[in-house]
Amino acid sequence: MNASVQTTGRYPPGDFAIWIFIYAELLAFGIFFLSYAFARANNVELFNDSQLLLNRTAGAINTLVLITSSYFVVRAVAAIRDNKAQLCAHWLLAAILMACVFLLIKLFEFYTKYQEGITLSTNTFYMFYLSLTFFHFMHVILGAVILTAVMLKARRGGYTREEHTGVETGGSYWHMVDLVWIILFPLVYLIR
């Protein structure tokens, strides 16, 4: 990437308050994952059997979609550090579109499961599958809303090379949403 990119040199990037929020979110998902592991240990067969019925292709595509969106966010931050606000806004728009693709694929997954008559009460595995993916789904929506707010401000010229904390803040949150999925996907869809 561009070697002349300016960094603010601050750590952590973005507003400190978002990091408290990110840590709290990671803790919430962490406890959810631990509960999953705990429940699975008591029900290995049921979990393995039910897991086979998930749509792994959709999950894998969504993983690529989210990682790509994170890459676009990285480009957006790089763009604003290069003082290119419009370019930054374009990259953010691309990331938001990827978020929408994720949501659509996920909705399709939810829909097919609904068609199969699967609910939270089907069994413990599906309770976790539906709860975890829905909880994450809501976070993708929140992340997309945050990115949209940042994009609109970038488009209005609200960020510069010197002051672009907002872009880093939104980007940090978005990476968290991505990171959680990167753990969630293998944990729930793949690991046996």
Partner 1 sequence: MQYQSQAVAKPYFIAAIGLFVGQILFGAILGLQYVVGDFLFPEIPFNVARMVHTNLLIVWLLFGFMGASYYLVPEETETELHSPRLALALFWIFLVAGALTVLGYLLVPYATLAEITGNDLLPTMGREFLEQPTITKIGIVIVALGFLFNITMTILKGRKTVISLVLLLGLWGLAVFFLFSFYNPANLILDKYYWWWVVHLWVEGVWELILGAILAFVLIKMTGVDREVIEKWLYVIIAMTLITGIIGTGHHYYWIGTPEYWQWWGSIFSALEPIPFFMMVIFAFNVVNRRRREHPNKAAMLWALGTPVMAFLGAGVWGFLHTLAPVNFFTHGTQITAAHGHMAFYGAYVMVVLAIISYAMPMLRGRAAANSDRSQVMEMWSFWLMTVAMVFITLFLTGAGVLQVWLQRISEAAQPFMVVQDQIAIFYWMREVAGIVFLIGLVLYILSFFVGGEEKTVKA
Positions that interact with partner 1 (CB under 8 A): 15, 17, 20-21, 24, 27-28, 31-32, 35, 39, 120-121, 124, 127-128, 131
Give the chain as a 3 state SS string.
CCCCCCCCCCCCCCCHHHHHHHHHHHHHHHHHHHHHHHHHHCCHHHHHHHHCCCCHHHHHHHHHHHHHHHHHHHHHHHHHHCCCHHHHHHHHHHHHHHHHHHHHHHHHHHHHHHHCCCCCCCCHHHHHHHHHHHHHHHHHHHHHHHHHHHHHHHHCCCCCCCCCHHHHHHHHHHHHHHHHHHHHHHHHHHCC
Task: Tell me how far, at minimum, the Cβ of 127 lies from partner 1, in Å.
Answer: 5
Q: Which is nearer to partner 1, 51 or 68 (CB)?
A: 51
Q: Which is nearer to partner 1, 63 or 169 (CB)?
A: 169
Task: Tell me how far, at minimum, the Cβ of 28 lies from partner 1, in Å.
Answer: 6
Q: Which is nearer to partner 1, 4 or 121 (CB)?
A: 121
Task: Tell me how far, at minimum, the Cβ of 118 lies from partner 1, in Å.
Answer: 13
Q: Which is nearer to partner 1, 22 or 88 (CB)?
A: 22
